[in-house]
Amino acid sequence: MGLRQLDFFRKLNTDIGDTSSSLGGFLTMIAFALVTIFTMNECRLFFSTELNYQTVIDNDTEQFIKVYLDAIVGAPCMVLSLDQQDEVGVHVMDVSGNLKKIALDKERHVLPTIDNNERPNYRGSDQELVDAIEAINQGEQCQFKGFFSVNKVPGNFHISYHAHHHLIQRIHQRDLSTYRKLKLDHTIYELRFGDNSSSFKMKKYPKSLQKFQSSWNSIAKTAPEGEKQDYEYYINALPVRFYDDKERNYQTLYKYSINEAQMTRSFTEIDSIYFKYQISPVNMVYSIQKKSVYHFIVQLLAIVGGVFAVIGIVNSIIQKAF
């Protein structure tokens, strides 16, 4: 009698009388069980997120990319410069602005800053030559720290003596033993394209994708005793864009493929550190997508209507067969 009362598939015909049956009650229980299971699964899908991935051609209108650098080079700041050059003809000597050169002693302690540009007639003077020779002999080093902007085209930036080649030539002529002490041994603590990501924004992405927050791992290079070396780093940067649905914009990070090469120089030659980069025109785009409330409601109605319709058909077939 209990199952007959649960029958949702009885025929509403008063002439026939009570058409409920135990079979109908049993099928009703199955229908409710299926609706419950499907509804719970739909709720799980609704409250979960879906990671979407696609590869697109770069359509970002931003022309420049920031390059963040933190490196220490084994030569005095007054003879070093960071220069940049690219395939559209940009050539900047001794980049400054947001990129700072910090003078360090041989133990890498910060030295007092002296702005020689404010000293009249200092550039090209004998005093500049004396100061440079003394700085080299005392083992002064230079830290490049900060950022600068590059075009999104293949190019390079390099640390060398190019902007101060006249001073280097004078050192070579005045004191050859000091000139031979110039070496571009270096330690790179950070090299990163683009702004750093927000850890809070990245938490919603899988841990395998959060690694894109990392910059280039630190690296140290020292030439063998009695040698100078040219260093070349070849960097392929692949833009990886993460869509922020709240702010409705993209957070762009970069995945790096890096190769390096070294070339031995004699002590009479000038060494350099080159970073040759290429920005990929192909972007990897990730986004987190949630199902809409309207889609959720439609799915629930479809589950209820579909389950009871199918069970009703099964009930009719069984009753006609038996």
The structural domains of the chain, with segments of one domain joined by +, span 2-49+290-321, 52-289
| Torsion angle of the four alpha carbons 221, 226, 132, 113, in this order, in degrees rounded to the nearest 10 | 30
| Torsion angle of the four alpha carbons 177, 183, 93, 121, in this order, in degrees rounded to the nearest 10 | -30
Six-digit token pair at 173? 């002529």
Poorest-pLDDT segment among 35-49, 121-135, 159-173, 214-228: 214-228
Q: Is 244 left (phi over 0), alpha (psi -120 to 50) or beta?
A: beta
Alpha-carbon distances, residue 180 vs 23, 80, 159, 203, 206 (angstroms) = 100, 15, 18, 51, 51
3-state secondary structure of 9: coil
Mean pLDDT of 72-83: 94
Q: Indicate whether 205 pLDDT > 80.
A: no
The model's pLDDT over 246-269, given as tens digits with 9 standing for 90+, comes to 656 677 778 888 889 999 887 777
Q: What are the residue ranges of helices labelled H in 123-258?
A: 126-137, 165-174, 176-179, 199-202, 207-210
User: What pLDDT score was predicted for residue 241?
Assistant: 81
Q: Which residues contact 121 (CB under 8 A, 6 or more apart)?
A: none
pTM of the predicted model as reported, rounded to 2 decimal places: 0.72
Q: Indicate whether 14 pLDDT > 60.
A: no
- 283: which strand partners? 56
Residues 174 and 128: beta-carbon distance below 8 Å:
no
List strand residue ranges (DSSP E) for 80-227, in order.
81-86, 91-92, 99-104, 141-151, 155-160, 186-193, 219-221
The model's pLDDT over 163-174, given as tens digits with 9 standing for 90+, comes to 998 999 999 898
Mean pLDDT of 300-321: 79
Q: Indicate whether 188 pLDDT > 90.
A: yes
Can you tell me the distance from the alpha carbon of 163 to that of 93, in angstroms, rounded to the nearest whole number? 6
- Long-range interactions of 206-215: CB distance < 8 A, separation 24+: 206/51, 209/240, 209/242, 209/286, 212/240, 212/253, 212/254, 212/255, 213/253, 215/68, 215/190, 215/191
Can you tell me the distance from the alpha carbon of 140 to that of 225, in angstroms, rounded to the nearest whole number? 18
Can you tell me the distance from the alpha carbon of 230 to that of 262, in angstroms, rounded to the nearest whole number? 6
Mean pLDDT of the chain: 81
Q: Indicate whether 5 pLDDT > 90.
A: no
Can you tell me the distance from the alpha carbon of 286 to that of 199, in angstroms, rounded to the nearest whole number? 16
In 3D space, the residue among 214, 194, 213, 191 whose CA is nearest the CA of residue 144 turns out to be 191
CB count within 10 Å of CB 236 equals: 16
